[in-house]
Homo-oligomer: A and B are copies of this chain.
Amino acid sequence: MKDVLEQAVALGKTHTHEGAVATYIPELGKVDGSQLGVSVFCRNGKRISVGDTKVRFSIQSISKIITLAVALEICGFDQVFKKVGMEPTGDPFNSLMKLENTDSSPYNPMINAGAIVVASCLASEISFDTMLDTIRALCMDPDIDLDKKVYHSEMSHISRNRAIAYLLESKGYIEKNKDVENSLHFYVKMCSLSVTAESLAGLGLILANDGIHPDTGKRLLSSQTVKIVKTLMFTCGMYDGSGEFAVRVGIPSKSGVGGGILSVVDGEMGIGIFGPALDKKGNSVAGECVLEYMSHELHLHMFDPQRHTL
């Protein structure tokens, strides 16, 4: 597998120039777009890392997975999905269209509107410090912390997300007794966490292993939470490119505009990728390339007929 990873990274490297690092906040714009790293953490304990897998970067939207998982654990399925749906939208992640245009709650917890609603459920139930402990455990990475520069950069370019938050309040999806600004700050803090490709591989492994830490045997997330999260990663995890990614790659994944991708080969391994040059939809160009290659070579597609023999 090490060979496949090295080939994948070599191939991915040839595509980094096709993308561009995110620039909607100045801090992200400073990142070197040519970086690429892939980590694989297997259930059997094997851990392989190739490339820039120890570089810290901004987790961004991948945090939506953690927020959702913890909210499901703390608030429960009914409480969460009373305020947010489970449907892919086909719209950009920061779109207001469906919120304005239908009578529905935010379509799913992977778009900004949905993630802010989930954050509002969670923010009043858990302190950010406790949350940070949970995140470090889930990612098997005790060094994860808030990147304050990114956080402040985000907060000074928050207008659109603030607009979304108040629109949600006006429509009753954030309750009057929740503090909108507090929910928004919680959401932005989650997006500003600093992780590595290895942290994502760690989280991926926990999800691949039904929520149980494979070394300690300790259950960190319930079976139901893990099932829901993986399903939503498959249908909505790669922004408005989720459908095509599902066809081409077929591995439940979640991307972020910091260049990360978290992938879960169910029952087998977690994959973490860092490749900050993005395509137009906000997904790592090289990361998608790496995953498509790995999926093909290692038969990782959910519907690959040879997957059952693994």
Contacts and interface: CB of A to CB of B under 8 A. Distances in A.
Contact of A166 (B85, B160, B234): B160
Interface stretch (A44-52, A90-98, A191-199, A286-294): A90-98
A contact face: mostly helix, strand, loop, or mixed:
helix
Q: How large is the interface on A (under 10, 10 to 19, 20 to 34, 35 or more residues)?
A: 35 or more
Interface string A212-230: 0000000000010011101
Nearest to A268: B308
Contacts of A89: 88-90
Contacts of A241: 87
Interface stretch (A30-38, A122-130, A297-305): A297-305
Contacts of A235: 88, 234-235, 242-243, 246
A227 B159 contact: no
B90 A98 contact: yes
Contact of A250 (B101, B210, B231, B244): B231
A266 interface: yes
Contact of A100 (B100, B166, B234): B100
A273 to B, nearest CB: 21
A163 interface: yes
B159 A169 contact: yes
Contact of A244 (B86, B230, B246): B86
A82 to B, nearest CB: 13
Contacts of A246: 86, 231, 234-235
B304 A227 contact: yes
Contacts of A305: 210, 223, 226-227, 267
Interface string A77-119: 0000000011111110001111011000001100000000000
Nearest to A108: B243
B163 A243 contact: no
A286 B155 CA distance: 48
Given A85-B244, A163-B169, 20 more contacts: A87-B240, A88-B88, A88-B90, A88-B235, A88-B242, A107-B243, A159-B170, A162-B163, A163-B163, A163-B165, A163-B170, A226-B303, A227-B247, A227-B303, A227-B304, A231-B247, A231-B302, A232-B243, A232-B247, A235-B242
Interface of A: 85-91, 95-98, 100-101, 107-108, 159-160, 162-167, 169-170, 180, 210, 223, 226-228, 230-232, 234-236, 240-244, 246-247, 250, 252, 266-267, 301-305, 308
27 contacts: A86-B243, A86-B244, A86-B246, A87-B88, A87-B90, A87-B242, A87-B243, A88-B243, A90-B91, A96-B96, A100-B100, A107-B243, A159-B166, A159-B169, A159-B170, A160-B166, A160-B167, A162-B166, A163-B163, A163-B165, A226-B305, A227-B301, A227-B304, A227-B305, A234-B234, A252-B303, A267-B308
